[in-house]
Copies of this chain bind each other. A is one copy, B any other.
Amino acid sequence: MESPWDELALAFSRTSMFPFFDIAHYLVSVMALRHKPGAAAMAWKNPLASWFTAMLHCFGGGILSCILLAEPPLRFLANHTNILLASSIWYIIFFCPCDLVSQGYSFLPVQLLAAGMKEVTRTWKIVGGVTHANSYYKNGWLVMIAIGWARGAGGTVITNFESLAKGDWKPEGHEWLKMSYPAKVTLLGSVIFTFQHTKHLAISKHNLMFLYTIFIVATKVTMMITQTSTVSFAPFEDTLSRMLFGWQQQFSCEKKNEAKSSSNGTGSLASKPADDSSDKVKKKHAKKTE
């Protein structure tokens, strides 16, 4: 006999994403596209390119995971129902008379509902990616993490490459490195679900899905209400970083410092901030001389 909680989690984990959660996902994705400068004008001038970009925004994670597993990147086009759904939403958002949808979407409760439902699809995607990767590589847990991550948050990568090809996006080293909040939370989820899948976490899948979904929905809604663009994982990251990479700083490196003064500081570890800034200076210098 199962507890009511278990039953609830089980029922939740069997919820179908199609159609309502998928609609929310497409709505949020296409609205994000729409709010980019020039997107509305582009849709008028070249509807086909705009539609293509919208599809990349909607199905980007799936495309990236297909590329990484050497499956046809076009496979998403074979799912006619979802394409039709996404296309309809793209059509309504960009071409609805009087821009009704955009106006409706500007109400905060609508946005909260859509964003919350979109986050639910993220859990399903991560789980799908992890399971799918497992069918390729038994116990290849690194691949499982990567595919779960790609499917859950890979849309950004695909759309960034699309912007790069269009020339809209000038990448900068530092931006590429900084992971966005969704990327971080998806990575976390991907790791957790992979460990669950390889039986290293003693929790049933439906419970984990339920808890993780509650966590990401709650975080997302909080972020939107409080207008903060990121929930900081900073303390957690700091601890982990200090555990993994910081213990060396205890050592006194006199030999090192002597070496450093002669070799002009390439690769100093003990004096991170100084090194960091000197690197920046060097870079600026290099750019100026170019």
Contacts and interface: CB of A to CB of B under 8 A. Distances in A.
Interface of A: 34-35, 37-38, 40-42, 44-49, 66-75, 77-78, 80, 83, 94-99, 102-103, 136-137, 140, 142-143, 146-147, 161, 164-168, 170-173, 176-179, 241, 244-245, 247-251, 253, 255-256, 259, 266-270, 272, 275-276, 279-280, 282-283, 286
A195 to B, nearest CB: 15
A103 B41 CA distance: 45
Contact of A83 (B34, B67, B72, B142): B142
A256 B72 contact: no
B37 A283 contact: yes
A96 B142 CA distance: 24
A59 to B, nearest CB: 12
A182 to B, nearest CB: 15
5 nearest CB pairs, A to B:
A97-B248, A167-B171, A98-B253, A78-B140, A97-B251
Given A47-B244, A99-B269, A74 B69 contact: yes
A270 B40 CA distance: 11
A77 B137 CA distance: 10
A273 to B, nearest CB: 9
A176 B137 CA distance: 36
Contacts of A49: 176-177
A103 to B, nearest CB: 6
